[in-house]
Structure 1
Amino acid sequence: MPFFYYYDPYYWMILVPAMLIALLAQLNVSATFNRYSRISSARGFTGAQAAEAVLRAHGVYDVRIEHVAGRLSDHYDPRTNVIRLSDGVYHSTSIASVGVAAHEAGHAVQYAQGYGPIKLRTAIIPVCNIGSQFSIILIILGLFLYSQTLFGLGVILFSLAVVGQLVTLPVEFNASHRAIVSLRETHLLQEEELRGAKKVLSAAAMTYVAALLVSLAQLLRFLLAFNSRRRD
């Protein structure tokens, strides 16, 4: 594998720039979260209380809110109908924590209201996971064995994984939009604080955009590499 990556020009021309963009997106979300995690909200709601307030504002009462270890490990689990908030969010009263917690509550509201894209994502995730697990193996075998069949099957599976990432984008952006609207309507954050929360959520959303860019760059890289081998 190292040999393949070192001598593949498309790796350096296409994939590495996309990976650098993804790295910058991760650094940005970490820096933005750290900045606003040091600023407490005026009303003093914790992340857990903010998530509960957003749920109540939308008439959702059957979602549990739990503490989970880790940093930025916050998520909503639709299988158990639980919002899990990380160490730096659950008990914190910072602007960043309130924004992140409201975002996860936004996902719970999406499920409760039957939001179309999240239903689609839930339906295709098992297939996308299969594509993600086996596609690279088939693509690399197809490249080295000059097998159009193996390569084509790998590309199809990889494309399914990319579709999953693409469907995730509107889900994440919509959850952030719901969070900001809910925080404004419930007055959990003041207008100036809302701008900080929006920056945190926008930075987090860009990590999903960057991940999609990396996947598209990877797919283009393999297609060009295979076409080059065919010409040779």
Structure 2
Amino acid sequence: MIGFDPLYFLMLGPALLLSIYAQLRVKSAYAKYRDMPNTGNRSGREVAEQLLRTRNLDVQIEEVSGWLSDHYDPSARTLRLSPDVYHGRSVTAAGIAAHEAGHALQHAEGYFPMHVRQTMAPVTMVASNLSFVVIFLGFIMSAMGLIKLGILAFTLVVVFQIVTLPVEFNASSRAKILLGQYNIVSGDAAKGVAKVLDAAALTYVAAALSSILTLVYYLFRAGLLGGRSDD
């Protein structure tokens, strides 16, 4: 496992290819529908405001710098939109704004997978930063206890990635339904929203697959999954 290991790239190859494909789809869909106006000609901010208003949610909407930096912060009850989405009146802007509003609706309704993800987030961040270092040191020192501890920490990352999938899929599903229900998009615009959101969802699938295969690799190299420990 230390240094260059062809097995690592062989095992992670499918996830890497899927990740590249997903990113290309996101960029393609984003660019294609960025210039197509949404049916209601509303800005992303206006779309989010309308959808939040349907549930009487007290959620702030802010502009944040960056590209595709859009997110909902449940701790601050704030929906943050990138400039293109915040000001944009395109199909892309409407879809992304509605998706983030979908997360706010999940939060308000106590959507269980979102609650689990939110609870896991702080611990997962620490586990993500430390797991590789602990596993690496475990192999250097031939310390199986450290290796197992690192693998256990990385397992939290895998669970977090898996829990993220229903959260993101559900937010996209809500977005598609609400955008059509309130006539913000229809016809070709609705199809465009679906393509933008489906492409974005694929990036989460790629991330989950990558984390799962990485865990399998660690287990194999540690001799815990039919492999041989690199002691």
For normalisation by structure 2, the TM-score amounts to: 0.93
Quote the Cα distance in structure 1 between the aligned partners of 2:62 and 2:229.
54
1:161 aligns to 2:157 (yes or no)? yes
**Paired residue for 2:16?**
19
Q: How many residues align?
A: 228
Query: In the aligned structure 2, how far is the partner of 1:231 from the partner of 1:57?
Result: 58
Q: Which ranges of structure 1 fall in alignment gaps of 5 or more residues?
A: none
> Does the CA contact (< 8 Å) of 1:57 and 1:182 recur in 2?
no
- 2:207 aligned residue: 211
Amino acid at match of 1:20: L
Whether the aligned pair in 2 keeps the contact of 1:57 and 1:186 (CA below 8 Å) is: no
1:112-131 → structure 2 map (5 Å cutoff): 112-131=108-127
Contact 1:184 1:191 in 2 (8 A): no
Counting helix residues as a fraction of each chain, which structure ranks higher? 1
1:183 maps to what in 2? 179
Deviations 1:87-106 (A, max 9, x none): 11111110011000000000
1:214 CA drift (Å)? 0.8
Of 100, 106, 109, which residue of structure 1 is paired with 2:102?
A: 106
Paired amino acid for 2:17: L
- Counterpart amino acid of residue 100 in structure 1: I
Whole-angstrom distance in 2 between the partners of 1:43 and 1:186: 9
1:134-155 deviation per Cα after TM superposition (whole angstroms, max 9, x unaligned): 1111111222322211111111
Match of 1:93 in 2: 89
Greater shift in the superposed pair: 217-226 or 92-101 = 217-226
Give distance in 2, aligned partners of 1:93 and 1:199.
17
CA distances 1:2-50 after superposition (whole Å, capped 9, x unpaired): x9342x1221211233223212211211111111112112321111101
- Which amino acid is the alignment partner of residue 44 of structure 1? N
Q: Distance in 2 between matches of 1:87 and 1:230?
A: 50
Aligned to 1:50: 47
1:92 and 1:184 map into 2 onto residues whose CA distance is 18
Asked if 2 retains the 8 angstrom alpha-carbon contact of 1:106 and 1:175, the reply is: yes
CA distance in 2, matches of 1:68, 1:132: 25
Aligned Cα root-mean-square deviation (Å): 1.6
Q: Tell me the TM-score normalised to structure 1 length.
A: 0.93
Distance 2:104 2:124 in 1: 22
Match of 2:220 in 1: 224
**Corresponding residue to 2:197 among 182, 195, 201:** 201
